[in-house]
Amino acid sequence: MNHILKAYKVTTLNQFLIERQADFPYASGEFTRLLHHIGIAAKIVNRAINKAGLADILGSIGTTNVQGEDQKKLDYIANELFISSIRNSGECCGIASEENDEIVTFDDEMSLDGKYIVCMDPLDGSANLESNVSVGTIFSIYRRISPRGEKATLEDFLQEGQKQVAAGYIIYGSSTMLVYTTGKGVYGFTLDPSIGEFCLSHNKVQTPKSGKIYSVNEGNYNSFPDGVKRFIDYCKVDSPATNRPFSSRYIGSMVSDFHRNLLVGGVFLYPPTKAKPEGKLRLIYECNPIAFLAEQAGGRATTGTKRILEIKPTSLHQRVPLVVGSYTLVKRVEEFMQEVPVEHSCGE
């Protein structure tokens, strides 16, 4: 009978967080409460996405965010839900979001005393929602620099990625998963709708050292740096000795592309182009958390020339190129980038 009972034994996200509190002796239960509230918001957003076609919450609200991108109704809903839930934790003094021009600070007494700030992309890949494609939420947590008891400042958010205390994402797909790291490995939790809980499903995730998938928008090929073009060409060459050609897989939702490559091996690229020479993805709330996860799973994340987690942010919505995934594939991209100087890039 024990094997039957074992099949029903699960470890919930909250239970796991409580058991791992010893990883953060300086945090007591504060850190656990913050992640718990991120999980609550994820469940509500998941419900909204699942009902989107029935509840008239697809489409645009007719405004653009600070990035100049069309804001979808679910962008706005997800942003408000995560801000509200994180604020209710009482452990966060401020948030930086893709959907807000400036940082959002909390001035109630409990939040002012909070130890943490959160950076987030509340709904990555939202342009794909009307096509019923997987989307995600990306989040990153830092300890604040400003004094507790005062409002959060911009300086709190302009920290190098290597100072993150936690990062993760939620992927809303055929199943909904929350994947996170606190610098002690990567863990994945799948939402069980029958009990309304995230349950441990992927313990100590390790990404393959290499892989056969490259993920990039090849429609921009002619505008890519020469080193990136050479890597893409390399991926297509028939070479049984090196398991080539590789497979091209590009969803257009970074969380979805990264999640697949994390589990099966591969590399995701969003290089600079002639139109966007600085890259498109945002350093603070997209690249840094994904890079932290990749490295904790044994992978690598760079701009093509520099480690992502070592970059000192200079602005809230700073953009950088990103190459992330299996260690040997990212290194191969870097080798191609070194062979052709970056200044010979972007559409030449």
Average pLDDT across the chain, whole number = 90
Rg (CA), the chain: 20
The tens digit of pLDDT for each residue in 251-269 reads 999 999 999 999 999 999 9
More confident residue, 339 or 137: 137
Q: Tell the CATH topology of 213-344.
A: D-Maltodextrin-Binding Protein; domain 2 (3.40.190)
Residue 6 pLDDT > 70 = no
Question: What does the domain layout of the chain look like in residue ranges?
Answer: 2-202, 213-344
Output the DSSP codes for 1-41: -HHHHHHT---BHHHHHHHTGGG-TTTTTHHHHHHHHHHHH
Residue 100 pLDDT > 60 = yes
Q: Is 214 annotated as a binding residue?
A: no
Tokens of 34: 């913050």
Quickly tell me which residue has 């892989």 as its tokens: 211
List the one residue out of 145, 33, 42, 141 whose CA is nearest residue 89. Answer: 33
CA atoms within 13 A on the CB side of 69: 18
Q: What share of the chain is helix, strand, coil (3-state, %, to 5)?
A: 40, 25, 40
> For the domain bounded by 2-202, which CATH number is listed?
3.30.540.10
The tens digit of pLDDT for each residue in 144-200 reads 999 999 999 999 999 999 999 999 999 998 899 999 999 999 999 999 999 999 999
Output the DSSP codes for 164-220: -SEEEEEEESSSEEEEEESSS-EEEEEEETTTTEEEEEE-S----SS-SEEE--GGG
Which residues share a beta bridge with 138? Answer: 121, 169
Collapsing DSSP to helix, strand or coil, 146 comes out as coil
For residue 264, the one-letter residue type is V
Q: Are 271 and 303 in contact (CB under 8 A)?
A: no
Q: What is the pLDDT of residue 267?
A: 98
Residue 126 pLDDT > 90 = no
The tens digit of pLDDT for each residue in 282-335 reads 999 999 999 999 999 999 999 999 999 999 999 999 999 999 999 999 999 999
Q: Is 98 annotated as a binding residue?
A: yes
Q: How far apart are CA 161 and CA 302, in angstroms?
A: 12
Mean pLDDT across 6-27: 77
Q: What is the pLDDT of residue 127?
A: 81
Taking CA atoms, 171 is separated from 124, 180, 197, in Å, by 9, 11, 15
Residue 13 pLDDT > 60 = yes
Q: Is 121 annotated as a binding residue?
A: yes
Q: How far apart are CA 214 and CA 80, in angstroms?
A: 34
DSSP 147: P
Quickly tell me which residue has 């909204």 as its tokens: 48
Which residues share a beta bridge with 119? Answer: 96, 140
Q: What is the pLDDT of residue 343?
A: 45
Q: What percent of the chain has pLDDT over 90?
A: 75
Q: Is 123 annotated as a binding residue?
A: yes
Query: Crossing angle, helix 288-296 and helix 254-264, to 10 degrees?
Result: 10
Taking CA atoms, 53 is separated from 41, 47, 129, 131, in Å, by 20, 12, 10, 11
Taking CA atoms, 228 is separated from 36, 222, 344, in Å, by 40, 10, 11
Mean pLDDT across 79-106: 96
Kind plus residue range of the DSSP H or E element containing 282: none
List the one residue out of 272, 45, 14, 280 whose CA is nearest residue 139. Answer: 45
Q: Is 250 annotated as a binding residue?
A: yes
